[in-house]
Amino acid sequence: MQTRKQFLKNVCTIAAGASWLSVDGLSGFAMPAPKKSIYFDFHCHPGWSMAEHTFANNAETMLPQTVSDMKEGHLTSGFLALVADAPLIKPGPKGIIITRKYSPGEGWTEYKRQIQRVKEVFAQVSVPFSTDLNDLSTKNNGPIAYLAVEGGDFLDDQVGRIEEAYQDGVRSIQLVHYAPNNLGDLQTAEATFNGLSPFGKDVVKRMNELGMAIDVAHASFQTAKDVANLTKAPIILSHSILQMDADRPIALRAISKEHAKVVADTGGVIGAWPSGFNKSFDEYVDNIKRLVDVVGIDHVGIGTDMAANFKPVLTNYTQYPQVAEALKSKGLTSEEVDKIMGENAKVVLGKIAKSRTKKM
């Protein structure tokens, strides 16, 4: 029987005489580095205070941990949303309560206050903002943010303010939120315009010209259809989920299969929403798969609503890799999971950017 010493001696002898075992030869057999995936969040509010229902007074102390969580969860980027109607709404026992309406010019003043605040505090935690929708790449070191506004209330009937917001760095506007505004009808209030208003149509056209992402989250089915029929670029629905039982929490915010298909048919993407509508994290993953079954793998992403969500089943950015692994465990391929986690975002944002026609 060959001793261990004899075995090692024989191996060394063979290696010494085999040119293909040289360093140069071994380089051809090197394992490729694992592919780094894009992780994107279509809708988030880091630094937001649910109690204050505004950007938190202590955001500077909150954000370092949030940014650390983003890095641990390998978040590449996301839409960081200001909330245009924040002074008009407050959480109630059964949902959001509308407290009043804006007076003329008040919405724009609030928008300017929020955007200055968010830029100040994010500069302190070294999270850069990007203004290029083609910039979504794994080459970035840590998370970068795109600015969005939830609700077009801040425009105050002035289309020209979209260009001012664009100059501020805003790259997505969600047309409606909870407080009824003059752009179109929302899911959670009585219809006023039977869809998109004339002003809302002007807003869609101008956003198309500028290459901004039009977000139809919170919009009624008819409003979404009107936007889809008018837009020259794909649209997004940043955070929602397919309808299930009518008595589920915040069921009014869920969408029908037909609603989802309207968004997908523009080439757009729906951010699967991990709110308390889902009974568990596992059910949330199942609901992502349901969306895929309805609209196809190319039209589903993730929209967390972090940290302003209702009883979320995904509570921390460190859970992002868990979403990916859970989807794989339920039968999706690595390529399909990569699409949901961020590749679809990269594609749709690139198409929106390329559709721009207006020069600044």
Lowest-confidence pick of 133-137, 202-206, 301-305, 325-329: 133-137
Tell whether the model's pLDDT for residue 14 goes beyond 50.
no
pLDDT at 16: 40
Cis peptide bond upstream of 307, omega within 30: yes
**Which of 308, 346, 277 has its CA nearest to residue 139?**
346
CA gap 209, 163 in Å, rounded: 10
* 360 — pLDDT class (breaks 50, 70, 90): low
CB 43 within 8 A of CB 81: yes
Q: What is the mean pLDDT of residues 163-183?
A: 98
pLDDT at 11: 38
Tokens matching residue 80: 């960081």
For the chain, the distance separating the N- and C-terminal CA atoms, rounded to the nearest angstrom, is 81
Tell whether the model's pLDDT for residue 8 goes beyond 70.
no
pLDDT at 13: 41
- In tens, the pLDDT along 49-80 reads 777 677 777 888 889 999 999 999 999 999 99
Tell whether the model's pLDDT for residue 265 goes beyond 90.
yes
Please give the CATH topology (third level) of the domain spanning 35-354: TIM Barrel (3.20.20)
- Is the model more confident about 57 or about 177? 177
- In tens, the pLDDT along 298-344 reads 999 999 999 999 999 999 999 999 999 999 999 999 999 999 999 99
The secondary structure of residue 132, as a DSSP letter, is: -
Tell whether the model's pLDDT for residue 7 goes beyond 60.
no
**Average pLDDT, rounded, for the chain:** 89
Sorted by where each begins, the domain ranges of the chain are 35-354
Query: 93 to each of 90, 250, 310, how far by Cα in Å?
Result: 10, 12, 11
- In tens, the pLDDT along 29-44 reads 343 334 589 999 999 9
